[in-house]
Amino acid sequence: MNSILASALVDPPRCALPLYVLPVRAGFPSPAADYLDQPIDLNELVVRDAAATFFLRVQGDSMRDAGILDGSLVAVEGGRRPAHGDIVVASVAGEFTLKRFRQGRHGAELHPANPDYPVIRVPPGEELQVFGVVVAAITQFRS
């Protein structure tokens, strides 16, 4: 890996973008406000540990009800221990998947956010490897 790329991974460049003070309503329209808050930097918002964070493009719709759609980018913090309810990137019997992690009485469970998909139950003793916890998702609606 060249030194410029390695430096960018450890200390990502900053890009401050405007953030409006008032949130936009997703229901009924509200009067527009031209008040700006302090700028936000998406690296600071999404990346807590630059050396452990990576991005993946999602394929499929098993997490659509969690707002993660086919083609979304997810920011994943690798090596982070998952808590009950976290969305994780995991491997079960060599197959990678993106699901919500739950610890059940009979072992770990990986839950989809789409009723068309089954829950993956991982009984004690079966191999489950969690590669990281999803900390953000970016869905692009128009390129």
User: Which residues does the annotation mark as catalytic?
Assistant: 62, 99
Instruction: Give the residue carrying structure tokens 């990137």.
Output: 89
Q: Count of alpha carbons within 13 Å of 52, Cβ hemisphere only?
A: 12
Please state, in angstroms and rounded to a whole number, the distance separating the CA atoms of residues 134 and 116: 22
Exposed / middle / buried, residue 134 (Cβ in 10 Å: 0-12, 13-18, 19+): buried
